Chain A
Amino acid sequence: MNQKPLLSIRNLHAGTEDHTILKGVNLEIPHGEMHALMGPNGSGKSTLAYVLAGHPEFQVFQGEVHLEEKNLLELSPEERAHLGLFLAFQHPVELPGVSMIEFLRTAVNETRAAQGKEPIPTTELLKQIRTLARELLGSDEYISRNVNEGFSGGERKRNEILQMLLLQPKMIILDETDSGLDIDGLKLIARAVERLRDNQRGFLVITHYYRILEFLKPDRVHLLVDGKIVASGTYELAVEVERRGYEAILQDLHAPTESR
């Protein structure tokens, strides 16, 4: 048994140089669990994802983040990735002139090299990428394009999932991967995520919609408001958010009797 949780965030204060966005976040994700993070727009969900992924725009003022026994905050973004951390971005950027194949091949082989593994032979990797592209994007024509160049919003999200399936990471953060997708896209992505679910992997699914959680049935649900987790609960919390909205729940929380 692993004693340490897969991901543990303790009293995390972070933000930009002149603006504190996260104001003491505490969160633990044990191996094999899927947690959902919900919250109104601007509550700091993406900021948390970026801080975990080591985005240089954000600074950590206080607190600790560990991935198993490793102190994440002292590692570069690529070192975090090599340990198995993966962020599916809310707004994936396009990489001008960088071809999908070269990008994916470099990502896979650099990660494998860091883990002391041999590179995958190019033909085999190509086969894998093709299969995934057909499954997720509907055609392997996409792999001859540049990364996200000319991709629609939905296609970019699916491309994030393609990368997740290819890299097989250990701790996966999905930042609103569900928004902007139609119901078919949603199901496709939910199925892809389900495929990776096992008793070792951890997931942090950021969303402010209930829809995807219906498919994924997370183990825990957390509510982030103004840079703090104000409530945590089971899947029922997500159902309640869906039924009553954030406002009503927040008012309950401010009332003297705290139920959760």
Chain B
Amino acid sequence: MQPERTLRLIRQTRRQLHHLLQIEPLTPFQAEIRTLLETLPPPSPREEDWRRIPVWRWLTHLTEQPSSPNGSLLSISPALPLPTIVITPRGAHWQDSPHASTQQALHTPVTLRTLPPDHNTLQNRNALLFPERDWLIALNTLHLEHVIQMEIPDRANVQLALIWHADSPQRAIPLTAYRLQLTVGKNAHVAILEHIVGHHPAHIVIEAHLAKDAHVSWWHLSHTTTPPLLLHHLAVDIREHATWNEYLLNTTGNHVLFRRMLWLSEPNSQSQFTARCLSDRPNAHLALVTHLLHMAPTTTSNQEVRGVVGWHQTGTFQGRIFVHPRAQETSAYQSARWIPLSEHATVHELPQLEILADQVRCTHGAVTGFPTQPFLHYMRTRGIPEAQAYLLLFKGFLMGSFPEEVPKPFTALIDHFQKQALPTLKKLLEASSLYANARITPPNP
């Protein structure tokens, strides 16, 4: 390929990436609020940290890496008992794992289409019609005007896995971007496990709309096959009595940004966010940026972020809570706890509360570090060596105390996540000067 052409493409990609950092608001009113929020001064210059992602370096570096379209979530769990939707870039071929045929047939009432309809793009259109097969959609991923729409009808009960394939077969365009519009009907119960596979930088934009009484539990799982540069933007509009529960389990990545904006737009809408973060990359920056907009009375939000950073890693949580004057009797709770394991690791906890109603319960807790001493001694008196004790404690910190029951089909994957996180946690602890005395011994068989 001509160098000029590569450069042009990369420049184009960068422009696009920059453009993508903005999510389209859902309604004009939301747009107004959004503008208001966006024009507020950032809580600290740190906001620039996650905006100044060295895209250029990534793009040039990653073009050299071979693309691997076979990295598969399906290989994680031999029998993933879930209907699975795989979305791949045009031209990429997705290889089913040998076990894919044993998967449960897809009997979900979900409608999936692309906008604008494009028969060239929807290569495997027919696959949609075969209940034995998973959906496979191929999109031209550089044009975000191409939107994937997913509709879940009223009263449906749906559990599925959604896999984004982030390796572009056109290696000169090393960015994969997708945009999903999800509508969940009244009283529908939905559990979605989201996973992104590939080496190329990925940008995912999800706009979700929850009708009255809908209940969504959304699980985002990262794995070693997840792209090292991931921008994940989520905008959710939650209507009356609807609930959005989100779980983020991140174990890898170099630049990971989760940016979420939630509108609790009608009375009694609820949202919960539970995040557990670490990364196996020494210079990782994991950033969670959340905007919660309580627009109606008696709305509830609850966010709990926990992370462990070591080496030269950075962890950021920026939580903005906005409570509209008419959103009385709202309760908003957020807590962030990052544990830095090395003196070169950095954590930023940047709460920003803007509360314009007067009957509001709002708490923000940000804690750095972890008082390990009383716990450690207790464990050691039971014969557990110091290093093992640390590992148990940090494992407990990251993986224990989940607020909600894991949907049955997801348990194998959550287990897998835990197994995946453990060696990383071990390495982080081993590298930590703070715990230099604790020597990790191989665990008992």
Contacts and interface: CB of A to CB of B under 8 A. Distances in A.
Nearest to B396: A97
Given A97-B396, A103-B392, A146-B396, A53 B401 contact: no
A97 B308 CA distance: 15
Given A97-B396, A106-B392, A114 B383 contact: yes
Contacts of B400: 96-99, 146
A77 B375 CA distance: 13
Interface size class of A (residues with CB under 8 A): 35 or more
Interface string B377-402: 11111111110100011011111110
Given A106-B388, A107-B384, A119-B445, A92 B396 contact: no
B397 A87 contact: no
B397 A107 contact: no
B54 interface: no
B166 to A, nearest CB: 32
A95 B396 contact: yes
B380 A77 contact: yes
A55 B399 CA distance: 28
A89 B378 CA distance: 9
Nearest to B394: A97
Contacts, number: 95
A202 interface: no
Interface residues of B, number: 25
A90 to B, nearest CB: 12
A103 B379 contact: yes
Nearest to B375: A95
Nearest to B443: A106
A102 B392 contact: yes
B39 interface: no
Given A56-B373, A98-B393, A146-B396, A77 B401 contact: no
B444 interface: yes
B374 interface: yes
A95 B378 contact: yes
B435 to A, nearest CB: 14
Interface in A137-183: 146, 149, 163, 167
Nearest to A113: B444
22 contacts: A54-B377, A55-B377, A76-B380, A77-B380, A77-B381, A78-B385, A81-B382, A86-B381, A93-B378, A98-B396, A103-B384, A106-B384, A106-B388, A107-B382, A107-B383, A107-B384, A108-B383, A110-B383, A110-B384, A110-B444, A146-B401, A167-B383
7 closest A-B pairs by beta carbon, nearest first, are A97-B400, A97-B396, A111-B383, A81-B383, A77-B380, A107-B382, A98-B396
